[in-house]
A and B are shown apart, each in its own frame.
Chain A
């Protein structure tokens, strides 16, 4: 017998329910309005009352309305069919909803019950299996979707039966397994898991160290991220957080991309809907949409479901990670989720922390980031969830609670600068303030040496140093005047500008420049550092600026040209001639080129 209740109080979407039996924290319930059922979650319990946050507008709700409790928390439905879907924050399939407008209580199923999937068994009768063990697989788009022993089972089991190769529906039994005390459990191709609880069906979670290529130069060449790593992108409005995340979702080297649009603009999700089915994914030869799943809770969708949306996305990511896949999870923006928590906490009249956010906000954020990571599964295969969230700091001030809490949780920091955005220096990542903690990991340094290039990390440190010195020189010039400093200062500044214009700046909307493969990044970095190491001769500071502008211009033309194409080579030759004009040491030129 499930618990029932009655509405006794309503303030916006916080509803108080008098209950007649046991209820649990975070339990899901439905409010039975005369024409619709509204989904809600218990967020506090006191005396005989449950306080629930309703995932819908409560317009028209009356006192006395009946409420049914379900006995479970908010769960994700996990099985083949998740890829390429567009879900709302509670994993309802947006494409299955009828009409142009969202209707209250229109809860469409996440997966298709009657679709047939081609199943191939992987386990054999007599095998010993654990939660998360692979029993078989089906082909979902281009992924071998593993059918696993449900994560909610506990202990070890022996496989009693596995279905033969053939077509099955998600609810068909594809295996029977026996527990240690002889209980038989049937396994189908679909399972449920509470989104707020991490899936831990893996052997261990070592420090991540495998470089993850993104094609974005200021990330790969200066602040690299790893498979299973965490990063965040804070920045005032309009500085390029979403453009950067979209670039990541198009280019990053991952098997699956999950985009959680959390409390941001609907038109930005529409951009993905419109473009991804058209864009080719060079890795798979298929369309980008085939490796993408979108969780959309845009800013006009119910606020309470915003919090749920990021957890739903993370749970789906962990599910696919358990199949030995590399998942990239992007959330835009985690600040909206924090604000949703704040709205609810205020309505419940909890004691507020800084800026009226709930006191436990830092703990909530760090627990969430901790769910990302690189894992070794029990069968020895590895998988990863890389998580990159954006943060929208109030007033653009990085000393606000969400940014500060996230900074403690995430290992890569990609700070977008208003100043750079104003000057259209995109992506506006401030390469000096930003960092990747991974470049300090010996296992990462080793990985880069063995797989990418021997001096990758050294070059990162050098390039950052050049940028810092360039900035210092610029300040000196500003204080003392162009002719108040040695010509050398102008050179230091302009050499840092080369790195800025050629490596850091990248036009996300140019066909060629948008994505730079790692080989090309290596080539360009060496080229730029080669120029840096040269000595150029000038008679007056007035000659410095025009000369370096020409160098930068040729480099930029190279960036716009197909790698190693005739055009690229033509500009490369031009650069060579340009350098000879003023280079002091001839041998250096020959050595670098």
Chain B
């Protein structure tokens, strides 16, 4: 990032805080990039000729006579086919020892798609995991996070989903992930022989937290480049909670009034701008976003998961089921809002009712368990629901399942027939006639 001939160099900084510095300068554009003693920075405020810069890697050791150079453009990324198979940091600089990328320079965080130009998502993404395909079916162009406590295997599940989804490109945006996680992704993708269709932007725990703020835009700008070439792109963002934490660090250092859970008041808009990049383009090409939002103690009312839930098209909730000793996709708190675009349409017509009925019966089992906890006797029905719930969990909810969607639906019918009467399931009679009498498994 060398200086070009006409760039003016400033060497007098008036004020330095933990994250920002301010100096007198003119002709500067809002959100323009700059370097301060070679550290990358961005204009966040201009008051007359006083310009405030946010220095991504922090202001430690920045002297008042540091060299400040304005670069004349907003944050940019070099995009092109050469990105494939490569690993970059939050600034889009290679970290895998490979050569510099050639291509075209584009601004990151570009404009939004005109809503009337979007196409309604309609292509199912099959993952083989019944907790997803049967209960929370994913669709291209969707945006959906995993909600998981930090000890859940969310990165593993996400990598598995990514590899099974038939995406043309997979783009990983890693924010505050550990070096071990970074290596996990690298190895998993390499072992799957998929590395040529994967591009990664990674900010690890060793990097400055504020740098993370660039990662999603880098990943999504890359996604837009490939989606414009009619490719189906899957973007993985992990961990968005750490991204939001970085937002709160910045707003706090800039003395903004915090709202709930010391998050900035603009958290909803900040997150929505990223997630809304998920899109199905009218003439082919799509961007699907699967993210991770880690929770603390399963609390989804915290501002980060709460705002995320209001933005994304559902969420996949990971929970350890103590009955079967496995991690499952919790059918109660998980949801895919786009599922109705495909279930019963791209899948068998009995899919929606089988899905809903199974979940309702699973809920009855939860009630029965409460009865046990309260020391009451169980009715015959209660006992059957409990047995059903265990088998349902084992055969369908566990994340280690890998079967076809029709098999999932048939398994549902098998379990209904095994434990319940038709009246107890309450399914439309035509569907029972047509599909329910078949015995599978």
Contacts and interface: CB of A to CB of B under 8 A. Distances in A.
Do A and B associate with each other? yes
Interface of A: 8-11, 16, 58-63, 86, 94-95, 97, 99-104, 236-238, 263, 265-267, 269-271, 273-274, 296, 298-301, 303, 336, 339-340, 342-343, 346, 352, 355-356, 392, 394-397, 422-424, 478-479, 481-484, 509, 541-542, 545-546, 549-550, 552-553, 556-557, 560
A508 to B, nearest CB: 9
Given A238-B309, A423-B363, A549-B424, A303 B114 contact: no
B437 interface: no
Interface in B86-128: 110-121
Contact of A482 (B117, B265, B377): B377
Nearest to A393: B306
Contacts of A103: 111
A266 B113 contact: yes
A58 B31 CA distance: 8
B290 to A, nearest CB: 16
Shortest Cβ-Cβ A-B pairs, 3 listed: A299-B272, A300-B276, A395-B301
Nearest to A93: B116
Contacts of B182: none
Contacts of A99: 114, 117
B116 A86 contact: yes
B74 interface: yes
Contact of A549 (B121, B363, B376, B423): B423
A296 B282 CA distance: 18
B22 to A, nearest CB: 13
A61 B31 CA distance: 8
A553 B118 contact: no
Given A101-B112, A267-B120, A238 B335 contact: yes
A424 B46 contact: no
B348 interface: no
A340 B302 CA distance: 20
Given A59-B29, A59-B30, A296 B256 contact: no
9 contacts: A63-B49, A100-B114, A102-B112, A267-B120, A299-B311, A478-B370, A482-B371, A546-B381, A549-B423
A343 B306 contact: no
Interface string B210-239: 000000000000000000000000000000
B379 A545 contact: yes
B27 interface: yes
Given A270-B118, A422-B363, A396 B381 contact: no
Nearest to B307: A394
Pick from B113, B352, B370, B371 the residue with the most CB of A within 10 Å. Answer: B113
Given A356-B265, A392-B310, A424-B360, A342 B111 contact: no
A101 B120 contact: no
A270 B119 contact: yes
Contacts of A339: 265-266, 268-269
Given A301-B112, A395-B306, A270 B257 contact: no
Contacts of A482: 371, 376-377, 379
B426 interface: yes
A298 B114 contact: no
A98 to B, nearest CB: 9
Contacts of B381: 545-546
Pick from B49, B111, B380 the residue with the most CB of A within 10 Å. Answer: B111
A424 B359 contact: yes
A61 B30 contact: yes
B57 interface: no
A296 B120 contact: no
B15 to A, nearest CB: 16
A72 B264 CA distance: 33
A271 B422 CA distance: 34
Contacts of B258: 356
B45 interface: yes
A100 B269 contact: no
B303 interface: yes
Interface in B355-387: 356, 359-360, 363, 370-371, 374-377, 379-381
Interface of B: 26-32, 44-49, 74, 110-121, 141-142, 256-260, 265-266, 268-269, 272-273, 276-277, 279, 281-282, 301-303, 306, 309-311, 313-315, 332-333, 335, 337-338, 340, 352, 356, 359-360, 363, 370-371, 374-377, 379-381, 422-424, 426, 428-429
A394 B268 CA distance: 11
Contact of B48 (A9, A104, A300, A424): A9
B379 A557 contact: no
Contacts of B375: 481
Contact of B118 (A59, A95, A266, A542): A266
A352 B257 contact: yes
Nearest to A101: B111
B119 to A, nearest CB: 7
A509 B377 contact: no
Contacts of B111: 101-104
A59 B281 contact: no
Contact of B423 (A343, A422, A553): A553
Contact of B30 (A10, A395, A545): A10
A60 B114 contact: no
Contacts of B311: 265, 299
Nearest to B274: A300
B310 A303 contact: no
Contacts of A396: 301, 306
Nearest to A347: B256
Nearest to A61: B30
Contacts of A481: 371, 374-377
Contact of B31 (A59, A266, A346, A424): A59
Nearest to B48: A8
B83 to A, nearest CB: 21
A101 B113 contact: yes
A62 B266 contact: no
B272 A267 contact: no
B29 A296 contact: no
B301 A397 contact: yes
A356 B141 contact: no
B426 A267 contact: no
